[in-house]
Structure 1
Amino acid sequence: MRSFHLHLVSDSSGETVSAIARACLVQLTDVHPDQHLWWLVRTRGQAVRVLEGVREHPGVVLCTVVDPEIRSLLEQGCREAEVPFIPVLDPVMQTLGAYLQVELGREPGRQHLPDADYFRRIDAMHYAIEMDDGQGMERLEEADVIIMGVSRTSKTPTCMYLANRGLKAANVPMVPGIGIPPEVLACKRPLMVALTRDPRSLADIRRTRLRVMNDAANAEYADVERVREEVQEARRMFTRHGWPVIDVTRRSIEETAATIMQLHRNRLAKVGGV
């Protein structure tokens, strides 16, 4: 496997440049990046230390520094070291500025300043925690989305991901032999979404869970035939109510959440006419 040095430079938390790097690196096969992380680079002294690191380990530099002076210093230093310097925000910012005919701000970390959207996401996270695994049923009507599914179908992490996008998400487990809780059926406002998984894959996940918990007494919980019956019973109930069902067997949490967010947007457009 080929390896190379990759320097990620940010004047803030590094979240943006890290996400861009991940999105690009997954498209490269048989390549391993040795990542060097440089966060909160806001002074000339910090930029000089970055350049010292780049000269010590030459490689590609991805940068989201917006201060023109600091960015210029980094760019000049990379040119002298003969390494690629990529200011990944520039094409988007320049295009937006030209199209809108405005001068874009150059304030480091501005995307992380607390605003209404920030507090909405924090509130959604608190809600997801309080409503996890069927808790707080009296507050279900406050949810934007109610996620249902049998045990170990990624309900909790999906809810937390949605909360980070500002959606209030509650999750309700489907217990074998017990129908859908009346509190769920009484809800009018939330979008109902069901998650399912291939029974064999689900049984493997549950078996690992039992092993980690050292809980050999509940072997039936991971029996593949029992799991198959449980999944089929839940799916019949979901179908009966006409709720969308998402098979998460080969989906990441991000892909599942993206599908739910699209369903939510479509529902808002249909109900609100927006």
Structure 2
Amino acid sequence: MIKNFLVYVLSDSVGDTAEQVARASAEQYKDSDYEIKKYPYVESKTKIDSIIESLNSENSIFVYTIVNKEISEYLRQKCEEKKVPYIDVMAPCLNTFTDFLGQEPVRESGVIRKLDEDYFKRVEAVEFAVKYDDGKDPRGILKADIVLIGVSRSSKTPLSMYLAHKNYKVVNIPLVKGSKVPDELFEVPRRKIIGLMIDPSDLIEIRRERIRVLGLDNSVDYVSIEKIYEELEYAEKIMRKVGCPVIDMTKKAVEEAANLVIDIINDLN
């Protein structure tokens, strides 16, 4: 019975999957001690030769996740030449998936890492949108990928959140007549700013529904058609001053508006 052994963990990515499998397996043998030597980003035969040459114990086993077929096959051959036991963690899964799906895998390394990176970027973007929603902190304007400006209830917040799920860091700034426009708005490139306008009759209906939900008096200036016209005129004036593109949000779904924003931003950058 082997009391001490080395586990060589190799991967053409970071190697977390191979390490977890190796550790979970090795832990099942309580009468033996083990050490893991991890080699991430093994992407060449030269690297494999170097690792094989460094073997300093007969009590070694290789566990690897290498999706590149040529490199994986080369490692297998080297292990067999050295009479070192090996486990190709990916092979059974890929073979079964290939038979099941009737297609060959792309054999691209680091796919999970890329997905994880994408996920964390999305989380960061959503947190950013929440932190800087509705002009809470104008300093966010200077850090944003996209700055949305418009009157209250012109879909700034839902559009910000939707774009955040597309990995864009978005700030939205309400344009309120009588309130100072943040200086930062005039410090960022115009290509980052998008104005949102909406038909007055639609806006008043949206605001009346909002008032009803909040249980407030329907006679407040917030739903006054005269005040709404004044707000929209003021917002249009600011947008002209900024020189930004403007999207008409009347009857537009958030998804449709988001696609327009992305198209505009991509065209201008």
Same fold (TM over 0.5): yes
Structure index of larger Rg: 2
Q: Whole-Å Cα distance in 2 between the matches of residues 224 and 239 of structure 1?
A: 22
User: Which residue matches 2:168?
Assistant: 167
Q: Whole-Å Cα distance in 1 between the matches of residues 216 and 159 of structure 2?
A: 26
Task: Check conservation: 1:141, 1:189, Cα contact below 8 A.
Answer: no
Unaligned stretches of 5+ residues in structure 1: 1-65, 73-93, 95-102, 269-274
Q: CA RMSD in A?
A: 2.7
Q: Whole-Å Cα distance in 2 between the matches of residues 123 and 262 of structure 1?
A: 22
How far apart are residue 238 of structure 1 and its match? 0.6
User: Which residue matches 2:130?
Assistant: 129
TM-score normalised by L of structure 2? 0.57
User: Which residue matches 1:186?
Assistant: 187
How far apart are residue 240 of structure 1 and its match? 2.6
What is the number of equivalent residue pairs in this alignment? 172
Q: Tell me, yes or no, if structure 1 residue 142 matches structure 2 residue 143.
A: yes
The equivalences for 1:61-100 within 5 A come to: 67=97
Q: Quick one: percent identity of the two aligned structures?
A: 35
Q: Whole-Å Cα distance in 1 between the matches of residues 191 and 121 of structure 2?
A: 17
Q: Tell me, yes or no, if structure 1 residue 250 matches structure 2 residue 267.
A: no
Q: Which runs of 4+ in 1 moved over 6 A?
A: 68-72, 110-113
- Going from structure 1 to structure 2, the CA distance change for 1:189 and 1:242 (only over 3 Å counts) comes to closer
- Going from structure 1 to structure 2, the CA distance change for 1:234 and 1:114 (only over 3 Å counts) comes to same
- Letter aligned with residue 184 of structure 2: E
- Going from structure 1 to structure 2, the CA distance change for 1:112 and 1:158 (only over 3 Å counts) comes to farther
User: Which residue matches 1:206?
Assistant: 207
How far apart are residue 189 of structure 1 and its match? 8.1
Unaligned stretches of 5+ residues in structure 2: 1-95
Task: Check conservation: 1:143, 1:190, Cα contact below 8 A.
Answer: no
Task: Check conservation: 1:146, 1:169, Cα contact below 8 A.
Answer: yes
- Going from structure 1 to structure 2, the CA distance change for 1:231 and 1:70 (only over 3 Å counts) comes to same
How far apart are residue 250 of structure 1 and its match? 2.1
Q: Whole-Å Cα distance in 2 between the matches of residues 164 and 255 of structure 1?
A: 14
Task: Check conservation: 2:196, 2:248, Cα contact below 8 A.
Answer: yes
Task: Check conservation: 1:148, 1:171, Cα contact below 8 A.
Answer: yes
Q: Whole-Å Cα distance in 2 between the matches of residues 155 and 139 of structure 1?
A: 15
TM-score normalised by L of structure 1? 0.56
Match of 1:147, SS? strand
